[in-house]
């Protein structure tokens, strides 16, 4: 089974894919960006895709939400991957010799206390994996990369210092998507995309009251511009019910009666990796 993920090799996305499908024979295929992953699934170049949608520190990944609007894919699963950031160096290098630290900007920002403490210069790369691979290729003993243990194993690097992140409880939430809707039974979550047909005062409150009145708990809400007119938005809403549950069906019916367009993006369970 072909599974698309956000590449290159050694990324957190690759690790999430390999862990989520650990009991399945898969062919992981890296793509250059999140949109390419969703497009590959939509065009059935691959059977499954995995994309990050939310990080506990950085928040929602808007490239994913916007991609879900534009591509016809079905969310069939959720994976939560703990994020641990380490300092990777070439074999035999010492932390005392380090002068530069390479990584993606968000990862460097999450390790600011450490980089400030050792007074190292920072250099931006397109991904943590790309930074780690560059350290290995250049073979310099005075540079390190902020990346994962998965990247250290992928590129045969030493972990010079573990857990250099500022916050201990970081994690990233991934969505597993496919082209075809699977049979939904006894799952714990559903994601809806609600596009209002008109803008009026208290619009979001009216939408949320529909769920509240039916006792439907919401676990995540995100607004994104419609890109048609300034100040107009569509809403991603994650409900703690499967799409087959009666109260969620009622909520969708009421919202559609109000004239809003409701698209069910998926119904799934969460899996901690």
Pairing of strands 171-178, 74-82: antiparallel
Confidence of residue 199 (pLDDT cuts 50, 70, 90): confident
The tens digit of pLDDT for each residue in 202-219 reads: 889 999 999 999 999 999
What per-residue confidence (pLDDT) applies to 166?
Answer: 92
Q: Report domain extents, the chain.
A: 2-83+170-178, 86-161, 189-268
CATH 3.40.47.10, applies to 86-161? no
pLDDT at 89: 96
| 2-83+170-178 CATH | 3.40.190.10
Confidence of residue 237 (pLDDT cuts 50, 70, 90): very high
Domain 189-268 in CATH 3.30.70.260: yes
Confidence of residue 185 (pLDDT cuts 50, 70, 90): confident
> pLDDT at position 227, please?
84
pTM of the entire predicted model: 0.90
**What's the CA dihedral at 203, 261, 172, 167 to 10 degrees?**
-10
Matching CATH topology for 86-161 and 189-268?
no
Q: Which residues does 24 contact at the CB level (< 8 Å), separation at least 6?
A: 1
Task: Kindly give, in sequence order, each residue whose CB lies less than 8 Å from that of residue 249, ignoring residues fewer than 6 positions away.
Answer: 243
């Amino acid at each position: 089974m072909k599974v698309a993920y956000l590449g290159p090799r050694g990324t957190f996305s690759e690790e999430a894919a390999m862990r989520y499908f650990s009991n399945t024979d898969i062919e992981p295929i890296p793509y250059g960006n999140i949109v390419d992953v969703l497009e590959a699934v939509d065009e059935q170049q691959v059977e499954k895709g995995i994309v990050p949608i939310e990080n506990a520190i950085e928040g929602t990944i808007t490239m994913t939400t916007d991609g879900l609007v534009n591509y016809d894919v079905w969310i069939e699963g959720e994976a939560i991957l703990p994020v641990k950031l380490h300092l990777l160096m070439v074999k035999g290098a010492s932390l005392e010799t380090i002068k530069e630290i390479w990584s993606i900007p968000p990862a460097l920002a999450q390790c600011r206390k450490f980089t400030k403490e050792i007074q190292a210069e920072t250099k931006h790369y397109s991904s943590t994996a790309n930074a780690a691979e560059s350290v290995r290729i250049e073979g310099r003993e005075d540079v390190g990369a902020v990346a994962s243990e998965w990247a250290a194993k992928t590129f045969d690097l030493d972990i010079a210092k573990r857990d250099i992140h500022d916050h201990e409880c970081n994690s990233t939430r991934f969505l597993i998507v496919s082209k075809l809707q699977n049979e939904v039974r006894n799952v714990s979550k559903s994601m809806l995309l609600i596009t209002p047909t008109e803008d009026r005062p208290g619009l979001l409150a009216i939408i949320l009251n529909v769920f509240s009145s039916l006792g439907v708990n919401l676990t995540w809400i995100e607004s994104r511009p419609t890109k048609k007119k300034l100040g107009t938005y569509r809403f991603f809403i994650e409900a703690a019910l499967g799409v087959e549950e009666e109260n969620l069906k009622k909520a969708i019916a009421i919202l559609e009666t109000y004239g809003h367009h409701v698209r069910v993006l998926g119904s799934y369970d969460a899996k901690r990796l």
